[in-house]
Amino acid sequence: MYSDLVERLRVREEKGLRRVRRTIEGPQDTHVSIAGREYLAFCSNDYLGLANHPELIESACQGVRRYGVGAGASHLINGHSSAHHELEQALARFTGFPEALLFSTGYMANMGVVTALLGRGDAVFADRLNHASLNDAALLSRAKLIRYPHLDLTALERRLAMSPARRKLVVTDAVFSMDGDIAPVDQLQALCEKYQAWLLLDDAHGFGVLGKQGRGVLFSASQARAHSPNIIYMATLGKSAGVFGAFVAARSELIETLIQSARSYIYTTATPALLPCTLLTSLRLIEQDEWRREQLSRHIVQLKQALQSLCWPLQPSTTPIQPLMIGASDAALRISDGLREQGILVPAIRPPTVPLGAARLRISLSASHTPADIERLANALWQLAKAG
């Protein structure tokens, strides 16, 4: 048994696909310490710089003093606290939906939604570049998985029109996590209304960053469709919100269905109540601190200008996710290692996370970066490009 595992690991190593964990010796920030060395980091999803915010830390401490450390039970037994309830109500108001439901992770939220709503005889229509959690959820649901080319709504409509499925669900990233491009939400909503399909929007990388006051991708689209009954909205709370967890927002009937039927909600211990206590503060900062999103926009412009004629092109992303396209996995690793030698962390993203031949450096910008940080990264990339 183990010789087979060893061989598979060897092959992965030879292909340059082996992943390595690095242990951070302090809080998440734009400057981190690993093995006693300081690094400038462009590899966190902490887009608004809230993960180490003093007000969040204080809220977590207050939550511990009031609720203790562990929830002790699942939400449906005895683990659902007033803090969980208050955060769900606040998230529903913030995103403009009747109700919201907390999940432990975005992966579990997507898994819970798709498997609770669909089964044999149903169909899931998925963008080809969707996050793995959406694909895995579709497979586990036993519904028919029908994929369409990335952002190709003509192909999606053709597949929707041809499908005899009793229930239809379109699933898509709102911001695609490895490309940084944004799904055309208005057109997707219109198609789902036309073909009587639900639309599950995974806004993990848009919540807090996009839309009015960071309310997410739906508030970047036309307001007329922001509350379509076809919409199921999912967002995570460990990226822009700086903490942990996820939520689903939708009509009350759908949320109640998830409470009764979503296995990834029912059969797991509730998150510690200190987390929703902290997230209530995070939500307030997301809403009020417009300067964080403005700072991110300036960083994006600065990076694009600095790398404009570099031999490795940036993807056309207007989000904090700025993929630098390299191509070959070994080349992406070499450039990432070259940056690390200069004290800069940028991860190399390789297959199977991205398609073969589409390896890249995934530059993640934060409001906590400074213009000097962006300049240092750009200079280092130019040096590596000139060195070949």
Average pLDDT over every residue of 97-125? 98
- pLDDT attached to residue 14: 87
Q: 380 CB contacts (<8 Å, ≥6 apart)?
A: 338, 339, 342, 344
Contacts of residue 277, Cβ cutoff 8 Å, sequence gap at least 6: 59, 60, 62, 63, 66, 67, 83
> Is the confidence at residue 220, as pLDDT, over 90?
no
Full set of structural domains in the chain with CATH: 20-48+290-387 (3.90.1150.10), 54-288 (3.40.640.10)
Q: How confident is the model at residue 388, as a pLDDT?
A: 76
Q: Is the peptide bond before 229 cis (omega within 30 degrees of 0)?
A: no
* Contact between 126 and 145 (Cβ < 8 Å): yes
3-state secondary structure of 363: strand
Average pLDDT over residues 117-141: 97
Question: For residue 333, what is the enclosing H or E element?
Answer: helix 329-341
72: left (phi over 0), alpha (psi -120 to 50) or beta: left
For a pLDDT cut of 90, what percent of the chain falls above it? 93
If you average pLDDT over residues 261-289, what whole number do you get? 98
Helices (H), 68-131: 82-95, 106-117
Active-site positions read 177, 205, 239
Whole-angstrom distance, CA of residue 108 vs CA of residue 247: 10
**Span 340-360, pLDDT tens digits:** 999 999 999 999 889 889 999
Amino acid identity for residue 203 in this structure: D
Q: Please give the average per-residue pLDDT across 68-77, as a whole number.
A: 97
**Each residue of 297-312: pLDDT tens digit?**
999 999 999 999 999 9
Strands 359-364 and 321-327: antiparallel
* DSSP code for 101: E
The rounded radius of gyration (Å) of the Cα atoms in the chain is: 21
Residue 33 burial (CB < 10 Å; 0-12/13-18/19+)?
A: middle
Q: What is the pLDDT of residues 325-340, one digit of tens each?
A: 999 999 999 999 999 9
Full DSSP string of 191-258: HHHHTT-EEEEE-TTTTTTSSGGG--GGGTS-GGGTT-TTEEEEEESSSTTSS--EEEEE-HHHHHHH
126 and 149 in contact (C-beta within 8 Å)? no
Cα torsion angle, 338, 341, 345, 350, sign: positive
Strand pairing partners for 103?
A: 246
Contact 355, 179 (CB under 8 A): no
Alpha carbons 78 and 278: distance in angstroms, whole number: 21
* Kind and range of the H or E run holding 190: helix 185-194
Percent of the chain with pLDDT over 70: 98
- In degrees rounded to 5, what are phi and psi of residue 372? -65, -35
C-beta of residue 314 within 8 angstroms of C-beta of residue 324: yes
Write down the pLDDT at residue 228: 86
pLDDT bucket at 222, cuts 50 / 70 / 90: low
Q: What is the mean pLDDT of the chain?
A: 95
What residue numbers does the annotated binding site cover? Answer: 19, 106-107, 131, 177, 205, 236, 353
The owner of tokens 């601190």 is 289
Pick out the residues of the known binding site for pyridoxal 5'-phosphate. Answer: 106-107, 177, 205, 236
